[in-house]
A and B are shown apart, each in its own frame.
Chain A
Amino acid sequence: MLHRYESLLLRILRGNGGSASFDFILEKSGIGKDAVMWALESLAEKGAISMTKKQSVDVHLSDEAKAYASTGLPEDLLLEKLRHGPIKLSSLNSQKEQIGIKWLKSKGLAQISNGMLNATLQGMHTEQTAADALLKRIAKGVTSEQLEELMGSSDLKELESRHLISISVGQQVSDVRITKKGALFAAEESPYSGNEINELTKEVIESGSWRGKQFSKYNLNAQVSAAVPAREHPLRRLIGQLKKAYLANGFVEINGPIVEPAFWVFDYLFVPQDHPAREVQDTFFTETPEKMPLPESVLVDSVKRVHEKNWHAEWNEHVASQSILRPHTTSVTGRYIYKVVHELNKNPNAYMLPLKFFTIGRAFRNENLDYKHLADFYQTDGIIIGNNLTLAELFDTLLKIYKNIGIEVKFKPSYFPFVEPGVEVDMRFGGEWLEMGGAGIIRREVVGNTKKKINVLAWGLGIERILLSKNSSIKSITELYNSSVGWLRENSIR
C-alpha cells in the first residue's frame, strides 16, 4: 500500500535513526524535489511520519537590480542631479535616464515643463526613494520571515512589477520523524499490498495481477514545479508564418549570399556611387575580403553606361567591387531579376509569366547600437516579374500577404533610386502606422530594355516590428537576439 517513493523515504528515515532533515532525505533519495515533497506529504497523510511545515519566501534579484543596488535606482541618480537645478530633456538620452524620468514623473518627484525636467517640491525633499531603500536592503540579504512581513507592501510590488526582483513562495519542510505507525509501514517492502495497487508497473500489467484490485489514491494537491518547455523561437515562428503567406499566394522561395560585392547591392539597382547609403556610416565594408569579383563584363558595361548617362558622373569598377555585408535582401531578388530577364531576352518562352519570388534573410546596417537599434536584422524581399504589371497589382499582393498574417498595411509615395513609382509600406501598430519598408515598380534602368513590356513589382520590408505588434510581451526588437534562457522559455510559450 506504499508507493515506491514512500517506501524509499521510510527506509532512509529508518536508516538515519528515525528522523532526518529535508535536505538529507532529498540527497539520499536521489529523486527530484517534487517527488520527495509528494511522498512526504503522502506519508504524513497516512500518519506514517510527522514533520514541521512552513511557508518559505525566497527573493531573486535580476542582474539589473544587482547593478542598481550598488549604484542606486535610475530615478535616484537623476533626482540627485536635479537637486542642483533643472536639466534639459534633450540631454537625457540614455535608456537609464529615460527610465529615471518615467519613474520620477509617476512618483510625483519631478515634472516636465518647457523641455526641462524639474524636481517637484516633494522631489527636493526626497533623499532616497522608498524603492531604492528597499532594494538595497534586500540586496544585503533578508530572511524568509522578513520577506513575509514585506509581502503586500507597495514598494515590494513596485520592484516586482519592474522585473527587478522575483518572489517565490514555497513550502519548507523540516524535522521529519517516523511515527509509531510509520515504523510498522516501513516493514512493508512490497509495491502493493492486499487489494490495493500503488505503482502500476510493466510487470504488474504483464502478469495481470492488477485484476480485481483497487488502486491507491494519490495526493493531487502536492506541490510540483513547472515543466520547462522547449519551443520554436518566436521570430522563427513568424518567419514560418510569413513563408506560408507567400506560399498561399503562389510565391517561390529563393536565397542568396550575405557577403556581396557592392555591385549587386547598389550598382545593379541603380543606386549612384555617391549615394549617402553607400557611405561608411551606413554600410558595413569588409576588410577580408576587400574586393569581390564582378559578374560578366556585358552586364558590368551596361550598368556603367546606364549610371554614367543618368547620374552624370563617372562610374567606377573599383567602387562596385568593394565587398560589403548586404544592407537589404534586394540583392537576392535583384540577381533573379537579372537572370530571368536575361534568359527571357534570349528566349521569350523560357518562362511563363508572371513569376513570383520571395526571400527572407538577414541584412546589416552600421548603427549605433542601443535598445532600439540592431545591426543584424531580418528582411523580406519579393518580386513579381510580368507583362505590364501595375501599382494596383502591387498593392493587392501586399495587402493579401500581410492580411494572411493578420497585419493591416497601407501605402504612400516614397523615393528609392531603383523603383519608380516608389511606395512606402506602413503597418498598423495599435493606433499608429509604422514604416515597414519600401516597394514599387523596378526602374527600366535596372531591368533593361525588354520585349513584351516586361516589368517587375518589388518590395523590401522589415520583419521584427511585426512581432512587436503581435506579441505585446516583447518590448523591444533587441530582445529577440542573443536572448537569455529565461526569455526564450517565457516568450516561446505565447
Chain B
Amino acid sequence: MPTSVHNKNYLNMLLGFKLNDTELEKLLNGLGMSLEKNGAKEIEVEYQANRPDLISTVGLARAIRYFTGRKRSFNYKLSGYSGIVVNINDNVEKVRPYIACMLVKNVKFTEDSLLDLINSIDKLSETFGRHRRRIAIGLHDAKRIEGNISYGVYPNEQFEALGGETEKYSDILENTEKGKAYAELCKTESGYCALKDSKGAMALIPVINSERTKISESTSELFVDVTGTNRYAVYSAANLLATNFIDMGFNVYSVSIMKRGSKTMLTPSLARQRIEVKLERFSEEIGTHIAFNSVIGLANKMGYEAALRYRNIAFNVPAYRLDIINDQDIIEDIAVAYGYDYIMPLPVVSFQQGSLDPHEETLDTLRSIVTGLGFSELMSDYMTNEKNNFLLMHVSSGNGSYIKIKNAKANTITMLRTWLLPSLLNSMSRSQHDKLPHRLFELDLVFSLQRSTPIEQYHLACAISDDKVDLNEIKSIMYTLLNAVSADAKAEIRPFSSGAFIEGRCGELLVNGKRFGIFGELSPVVLEGFGINAPVIALEIEL
C-alpha cells in the first residue's frame, strides 16, 4: 500500500488539538490506515490506494476530525463564480481532452502548508493520475495571468519554464528530466499541449509551469488547472482540491470551461452524490446488528451526512471521496467505523463435505511412493531460461513451442520450463559438498505450447548421483512407477537418442505405443556444464 509523509506540527495545527503517539496510531488503525514511521518531526502513514483524499495532511486532518467527532459540518461551498472563462481548443480532443479549473482567493500560505500542497498534488498526479496521464495538476499565481485563458495544442514556441531558461517546447521535452518523463503525454503530431493566456504559455501540459506564473509563500490568489484523459477523474480531482483549499481557510470560485459544440461547464462543482441504503443491508453484510441511529453516528464519523428516510438511510457522499461507487462502498465505511475488532465471528452453517481434487491426490500418492524409494523432494521455480532448459542439457529448443516471458526484471527468467531434469541437475550442482549419494525428485508442472495454446502438464523426474551408478536401478524404478500409475499396462523399451544422455544408455518406455517416459545415464558433457563431478542416472515421466 502507498504511504505519505506528514509534518507533525502542521497536522496538530490543522487538528486544533494535540495527539500523542498512541492515540494517533489507534485513530489511524481505526480509519484503516497504519503508522509506518514515527519520527521527531514527521510521520509516514500508509493509506489505501483508493483514498487519494488522504494523501495530503489537510485531508488526513479532516478524516481525523470527523472520526473524533470534532468536525460536524458536511457541506463544502464555493464562494461564487470567478468570471474567468477557459476556452478549450478542438485540437486537444485526441490528446488530453479534459480540463477543470478554479480560482482560489484569500490565500495565506505558511511554509508547511505550501509544502503539503505541492507534495500532495505531485503524489496525486503520480498515483491517482497514473503518472500524469489520467490527470495532472498545475498551480499558478492568478495575479500574473492576463487576458483570456485557452487550452489546446500549439506549435513549437519559446517558453520560460519554471526555474529554467527561455527555450523552445521541444528543447524542454528533450533536455530536461521532467520533459523526458512526460514528453509522450505532451507532444502530438500537430504540436504541444499547453495552457495559455494573452501573454503566452502558462504551462506546458502535463510537464511544467511557466516561471512567470509561479507561486510562492506570498501568493494571495491561485489559479488551478486539472487536465487529463479521463473526464470523471479530472472533475473529481478538482473537487478534491477545492475541498482541501476550503479546509485551509481559502475561498474557492468556479471557472467556466467553454468548448465549441458543448455545454459550458462550471468547475469545480462540489456536487455530492446521494446514495440510499436499506437499513437491513448493514447487518446483512457485516453480520452484527447495528441500529439506525448508530449507523448515522458511524456515517458522521466517516464524513457523511446521513439521515433516515423511510426504511433507508440516505447518505450525502462528500465530493472529495473519489472511491465511492455505490452502497457497497458505504457499507464498508460503516464497518470500518464500527471496528473490525468488534465484529463477533459467526460460524457459516453448511453441510458440505470437504474433498480433495482427485488428480492432486494421485500426485501426492506418487510423491510418497517416490519418497519411499529414497528420494528427497525438490521444489523449484517454474520459470527458467533457455540456457538451463536447453543449452546446458544439450537438447534443441525444437520449433520454439514453449512459453516465453516478455518482461522479467530478472534476466535469469525468460521462459517456463518444459521439463524437470534441469531443475534436479541444478540442485545437484549446488550440492557438490553434500555427501553422496544424491537422490532427488520433483513432481510438478511443466509447460509447452500447442498451436499457440499453453499446455500445462505434470511430470515426475528422479535422479541419482553417486560414486558409481547402475542404469538398471533407474530402469527398475521406472517400472515400479509405471506399476503404480497403471498396474497392467503393456510396456516396451526402445533406444532413445538425446543430447542429454550417453548414446546407447538412454531408453524410452512406451505404454501401449505411447511415450510414458525416458531414462538414461547423463552425458559427462552435460554434467560438466552443470559442474557435477559424479555420474548421474535419471528418469522423467509424463503424467
Contact = CB atoms under 8 A, between A and B. Distances in A.
Most chain-B Cβ atoms within 10 A of its Cβ — which of A246, A251, A453?
A251
A288 B332 contact: no
Contacts of B368: 232
A236 B357 CA distance: 16
B232 interface: yes
B231 A312 contact: yes
A397 interface: yes
A243 interface: yes
A397 B349 CA distance: 11
A392 B287 contact: yes
A362 interface: yes
B403 interface: yes
Contact of B356 (A243, A287, A455): A243
- State the main secondary structure of chain B at its contact with A: loop
Interface string A471-494: 000000000111111101100100
Interface in B305-352: 323, 325-326, 328-329, 331-332, 335-336, 340-341, 343-352
A403 B406 CA distance: 41
Nearest to A351: B352
A244 B181 CA distance: 52
A9 B283 CA distance: 84
A289 B127 CA distance: 31
A356 B326 CA distance: 27
Given A258-B445, A259-B456, A395-B343, A486 B354 contact: no
Contacts of B332: 413, 420-422
A354 B348 contact: yes
Nearest to A61: B433
B21 to A, nearest CB: 18
B396 interface: no
A62 B286 CA distance: 55
B378 interface: yes
B23 interface: no
B440 interface: yes
A241 to B, nearest CB: 13
- State the main secondary structure of chain A at its contact with B: mixed
Contacts of B434: 484-486, 489
Interface string B138-179: 000000000000000000000000000000000000000000
Contacts of A255: 357, 359-360
Nearest to B441: A230
Given A253-B355, A413-B340, A485 B427 contact: yes
Contacts of B405: 284-287, 325
Given A412-B32, A489-B376, A492-B376, A232 B407 contact: no
Most chain-B Cβ atoms within 10 A of its Cβ — which of A246, A292, A354, A390?
A390
Interface stretch (B72-80, B212-220, B379-387): B379-387
B190 interface: no
A344 interface: no
Interface stretch (A17-25, A36-44, A365-373): A365-373
Contacts of A289: 403, 449, 452-454
Interface in A380-400: 384, 386, 388-393, 395-397, 399-400
A96 to B, nearest CB: 18
A338 interface: no
A484 B48 CA distance: 40
A325 B328 CA distance: 30
Contact of B364 (A240, A323, A413, A443): A240
Interface string A418-453: 001111000000000000000001011100000001
Given A356-B352, A420-B328, A486-B433, A376 B381 contact: yes
A375 B449 contact: no
Nearest to A359: B357
Contacts of B130: 274, 276
Interface stretch (B254-262, B408-416, B510-518): B408-416
Interface in B43-99: 48-51
B174 to A, nearest CB: 25
A235 to B, nearest CB: 6
B421 to A, nearest CB: 14
B176 to A, nearest CB: 24
A180 to B, nearest CB: 37
Contacts of B407: 280, 284-285, 366
A482 B50 CA distance: 38
Contacts of B50: 415, 417
B505 interface: no
A67 interface: no
Contacts of A397: 348
A444 B328 CA distance: 8
Contact of A368 (B127, B410, B453): B410
A252 interface: yes
A281 interface: yes
Contact of A247 (B32, B329, B343, B355): B355
B352 A390 contact: no
Contact of B285 (A60, A250, A421): A421
Contacts of B409: 281, 366-369
A288 B406 CA distance: 8
Given A230-B371, A259-B456, A375-B410, A391 B381 contact: no
A375 B405 CA distance: 13
B255 to A, nearest CB: 22
A63 interface: yes
B7 interface: no
B29 interface: yes
7 contacts: A313-B232, A414-B1, A441-B328, A455-B285, A484-B434, A485-B440, A489-B434
Interface of B: 1, 29, 31-32, 34, 48-51, 127, 130, 133-134, 230-233, 283-288, 323, 325-326, 328-329, 331-332, 335-336, 340-341, 343-357, 359-360, 364, 367-368, 371, 373-383, 400, 402-410, 412-413, 416, 423, 426-428, 430-431, 433-435, 437-440, 445, 447, 449, 452-454, 456
Interface of A: 60, 62-63, 228, 230-233, 235-236, 240, 243, 246-255, 257-259, 274, 276, 280-281, 284-290, 292, 310, 312-313, 323, 325, 352, 354-356, 362, 364, 366-369, 375-376, 384, 386, 388-393, 395-397, 399-400, 410-415, 417, 420-423, 441, 443-445, 453, 455, 480-486, 488-489, 492
Given A274-B130, A386-B350, A393-B345, 4 more contacts: A250-B353, A290-B406, A415-B48, A482-B427
